[in-house]
Amino acid sequence: MADISSNFLGIKSPNPFWLASAPPTDKKYNVLRAFEAGWGGVVWKTLGSQVKNVSSRYSAVDFGGQRVMGFNNIELISDRPLHINLKEIAECVKLFPDRAMIVSLMADNDKKSWHEIIKKVEDTGAHGFELNFGCPHGMTERGMGAAVGQDPEIACMVVEWVMEAATLPVITKLTPNVHSVVPTGRSVVKAGTNALSLINTIQSITGVDLDTLVPNPYVAGKSVFGGYCGPAVKPIALKFLTTIAQDELTKKVPISGIGGISTWKDAVEFMLLGASNVQVCTAAMKHGFRIVEDMCEGLNNWMDEKGFKTLDDFIGKSVDTITHWEDLDINYHHIAKINQDKCIHCGLCYIACEDTSHQSINLEYGKPYNKYTIKEEECVGCNLCMLVCPVDKCITMEEHRVAPEYVNWIEWQKRGLPLNDH
């Protein structure tokens, strides 16, 4: 059995799965249920400024008959009285001393407010802070949340205030509502943050109601841009994560990965790309806390299969495989192959290639089943057919190198090799 226990900035948890700062972590009742279900830790829903919430608050994107492929919310930070939150945090820490308790903060934009709240939270026995520089709605209009995260200088200033007062480890949570997370990341690392977490939600409109003609979520005939999360944002989160994991400065601090993680597989992918642990919200909001069971078991089984004994054995292992386009090997070539024994003759590979790609699949008419084969000389190895094929491993990509030697784009140009030759 692999050891899936996690140590993030000295904060220990029995597994690397934390619940992200969000509605599931806004009170004792939920948090105790989460701990009972087996979650390694929680980031308590953001405390700080005074707010008032609206109704409704959430909306979702469904896809292909599946609910909540993407999810957005217009809820603000915690709207419960601070003293109750603090009391409940202390009680949760006492009841589950082996779990991580991080408290998310977003104070008003002055040093005093930050220092005050830090002091109060430290008294609860919590293990660390996460600074909410990411919330993209409601708080931004007041110059908070994403408004801080989008400006490296302001972010730096706030982190400096925090570091003056905090004795506990500090994680700074980054907003993806920027063209790059690296400038703010660097800035807050310089200011002394102990770790980074990303991504927060992405500004979005999930859709428009075709009867009322008002976008979702609906609030008295209006809506606002909400923070997008859930499985749909995972690829974007992975990209931002990798840029932080590759940057010379930001890679020096641990990263907590967030963004559409629903399964142990998602979690492993985040960790391979540099996250030391992960935070989950939408998947739990859709299915409840019980999903952590399979996350732990799946992670464990995968580690055993691959021979990884601890999380550190694989964290960051894939970071260096993301390279620059001009470093890719142009002599690498692969060609699709259709396994006729597995083919169910649905024609999806054919029509995708024929209409939208390189006309590299041959259709031999049959009634009712056509036969589909690859025109090897036409196939550019784009993967489209394999991606749309509904049968596992029916279409595989077979390596057919153009030449044995590695030649990248720069070298290709230098040698004057042929261009636009397809």
Partner 1 sequence: MIQNNRLTPIQYQENFSDIHPPYENITAAKVDANRCLFCYDAPCMKSCPTSIDVPKFIKQIATENIKGSAHTIFTSNIMGAGCSKVCPVEKLCEGACVYNLLEEKPIPIAKLQRYSTEKAMANKWQLFQRKQSIGKKVAIVGAGPAGLSCAHSLSKEGIDVTIYEKESKGGGLMTYGIAAYKVTPQFCEDEVNYILSIGGIEVKYNHELGRTISLAELQTNYDAVYLGLGVGVARQLDIPGEDMDGVVDAISFIYHLRKNGYPSVPVGDKVAVIGMGMTAIDAATQAKRLGAKEVTMLYRRTEDEMPCTKHELDIAMLDSCEIIWLAAPKEVIGINNKVTQLVCSKMQLGEPDASGRRSPIETEETFSLEVDMVIKAAGQVPFEHLITENGITNNKGKIVIDKNCATNIKGVFAGGDAVNGGKEVVDAVQAGKDGAKAIMAYLNIA
Cβ-Cβ contacts under 8 Å for 416 (sequence gap 6 or more): none
Phi, psi of 46, rounded to the nearest 5 degrees: -50, 130
Among 38-46, 110-118, 293-301, 346-354, the segment contacting partner 1 (CB under 8 A): 346-354
Reading the block at residue 20, the tokens are 């992200």
Reading the block at residue 342, the tokens are 């597995």
We find the least distance from the C-beta atom of residue 346 to partner 1, in angstroms, to be 4
We find the least distance from the C-beta atom of residue 369 to partner 1, in angstroms, to be 6
The set of catalytic residues is 135
We find the least distance from the C-beta atom of residue 376 to partner 1, in angstroms, to be 21
According to the binding rule CB under 8 A, does residue 351 interact with partner 1?
A: yes
We find the least distance from the C-beta atom of residue 262 to partner 1, in angstroms, to be 19
Q: Which is nearer to partner 1, 65 or 418 (CB)?
A: 65
According to the binding rule CB under 8 A, does residue 391 interact with partner 1?
A: yes
According to the binding rule CB under 8 A, does residue 370 interact with partner 1?
A: yes
* Residues in contact with partner 1, shown as a per-residue x/- string from 244 to 283 under the rule CB under 8 A: ----------------------------------------
Peptide bond preceding 6 in cis form (omega within 30 of 0): no
Strand duo 58-63 + 361-364: pairing = unpaired
Q: Which is nearer to partner 1, 155 or 394 (CB)?
A: 394
Return the percent helix, strand and coil in the chain, to nearest 5.
Answer: 35, 20, 45
Reading the block at residue 106, the tokens are 């977003």
CA distance linking residue 5 with residue 13, whole number of Å: 6
* Residues in contact with partner 1, shown as a per-residue x/- string from 45 to 64 under the rule CB under 8 A: -------------------x
Number of residues that bind partner 1 (CB under 8 A): 16
We find the least distance from the C-beta atom of residue 3 to partner 1, in angstroms, to be 39
Q: Which is nearer to partner 1, 65 or 97 (CB)?
A: 65
Reading the block at residue 247, the tokens are 């940057």
Q: Where are the beta strands (DSSP E) in 174-327?
A: 195-198, 202-204, 226-229, 255-258, 277-280
We find the least distance from the C-beta atom of residue 349 to partner 1, in angstroms, to be 9
According to the binding rule CB under 8 A, does residue 390 interact with partner 1?
A: yes
Near partner 1 by CB under 8 A: residue from 54, 322, 348, 380: 348
Euclidean distance between the first and the last CA atom of the chain, given in angstroms as a whole number: 51
According to the binding rule CB under 8 A, does residue 371 interact with partner 1?
A: no
We find the least distance from the C-beta atom of residue 393 to partner 1, in angstroms, to be 13
Cβ-Cβ contacts under 8 Å for 93 (sequence gap 6 or more): 101, 124, 125, 126, 127
* Angle between helical axes of 291-306 and 264-272 (0-180°, round to 10): 50
According to the binding rule CB under 8 A, does residue 80 interact with partner 1?
A: no
Among 16-24, 211-219, 268-276, 340-348, the segment contacting partner 1 (CB under 8 A): 340-348
CA distance linking residue 253 with residue 249, whole number of Å: 8
We find the least distance from the C-beta atom of residue 347 to partner 1, in angstroms, to be 3
According to the binding rule CB under 8 A, does residue 363 interact with partner 1?
A: yes
Rg, Å, the chain Cα set: 24
Near partner 1 by CB under 8 A: residue from 10, 209, 293, 369: 369
Near partner 1 by CB under 8 A: residue from 163, 347, 381, 397: 347
How many contiguous H segments (helices) and E segments (strands) does the chain have?
A: 13, 18
Near partner 1 by CB under 8 A: residue from 208, 328, 344, 417: 344
Among 111-119, 197-205, 276-284, 368-376, the segment contacting partner 1 (CB under 8 A): 368-376
Burial 10-34 (b: 16+ CB within 10 A, else e): ebebbbbbbbbbbbbbbbbebbeeb
Q: Which is nearer to partner 1, 84 or 208 (CB)?
A: 208
Cβ-Cβ contacts under 8 Å for 302 (sequence gap 6 or more): 264, 265, 268
According to the binding rule CB under 8 A, does residue 65 interact with partner 1?
A: yes
Q: Which is nearer to partner 1, 252 or 367 (CB)?
A: 367
Near partner 1 by CB under 8 A: residue from 15, 154, 350, 385: 350
Strand duo 334-338 + 361-364: pairing = unpaired
According to the binding rule CB under 8 A, does residue 97 interact with partner 1?
A: no
Reading the block at residue 188, the tokens are 């807050």
Q: Which residues bind partner 1 (CB under 8 A)?
A: 64-65, 344-348, 350-351, 363, 367-370, 390-391
